[in-house]
């Protein structure tokens, strides 16, 4: 787990109010998803710090920009994100500290958690579910095991399909290891994340591909098809 003091040392720009709001959900998620060692915690916190701008952004700002218009069907990007209906791009924009994006991912992680994120997508930005989806993504992609071996670049690639922002991520990682290494407190499993019984029975899949998040998926699409227009 991570304390308020440790969190604010790793993320100096996180506000006191947000730290107070998010910390219980962050620690509950880490306990539920086996993020229970110093190395696992440091890797997880570092990636979330980069992805969310130190918890300043739990929801993608919508323009729509030219790039965001590619979320909308019938584009190839929309197809990969599972967006099939008009308005799905905005409806299922990036939310949460790891920015799940697209109808496919909202359904996948909502089903695993026993919450309807398809009909209620705004819930994905609420602390309870925002951190829960991030924890499930981390666990289901084998990132705990990579963290044990300190394979931080491999973790980054599984999160975004490449090494975007690697230097910034590594900066947080080294800082998190230093801060947590000085006084690491093991996760408290006495208060696990509340998940309905139906969701507990479901096996967490281990996908072969990284999470198709909007920002990285757009860059992949541009690389394949050229500059958006």
Active site positions, annotated: 51
59: which strand partners?
A: 95
Backbone phi, then psi, for 100, in 5-degree steps?
-65, 140
**Cβ atoms of residues 144 and 35 within 8 Å:** yes
Distance from the Cα of residue 94 to its chain's centroid: 10
Measured on CA atoms in the order 31, 34, 38, 40, is the torsion positive or negative? Answer: negative
- 22, containing H or E segment: helix 16-32
Nearest-angstrom CA–CA distance, 128 and 25: 6
Residues near 94 by beta carbon (within 8 Å), at least 6 away in sequence: 59, 60, 100, 101, 213, 214, 215
Of 157, 162, 109, 114, the residue nearest 135 (C-alpha)? 109
């Amino acid at each position: 787990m991570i304390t308020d003091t440790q969190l604010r040392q790793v993320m100096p720009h996180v506000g006191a109010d947000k730290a107070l709001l998010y910390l219980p959900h962050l620690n509950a998620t880490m306990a539920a998803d086996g993020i229970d060692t110093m190395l696992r915690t440091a890797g997880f916190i570092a990636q979330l710090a980069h992805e969310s701008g130190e918890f300043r952004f739990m929801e993608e700002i919508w323009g729509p920009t030219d790039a965001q218009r590619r979320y909308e069907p019938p584009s190839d990007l929309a197809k990969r994100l599972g967006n099939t209906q008009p308005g799905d791009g905005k409806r299922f924009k990036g939310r949460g500290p790891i920015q799940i994006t697209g109808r496919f991912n909202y359904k996948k992680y909502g089903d695993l958690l026993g919450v309807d994120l398809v009909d209620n997508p705004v819930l994905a930005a609420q602390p309870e579910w925002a951190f829960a989806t991030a924890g499930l993504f981390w666990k289901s992609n084998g990132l705990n095991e990579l963290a044990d071996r300190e394979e931080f670049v491999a973790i980054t690639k599984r999160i975004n399909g490449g090494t975007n922002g690697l230097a910034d991520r590594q900066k947080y990682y080294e800082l998190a290891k230093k801060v947590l290494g000085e006084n690491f407190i093991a996760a408290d499993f006495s208060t696990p994340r509340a998940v309905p019984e139906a969701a507990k029975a479901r096996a967490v899949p281990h996908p072969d591909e990284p999470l198709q998040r909007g920002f990285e998926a757009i860059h992949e699409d541009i690389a394949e098809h050229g500059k958006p227009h």
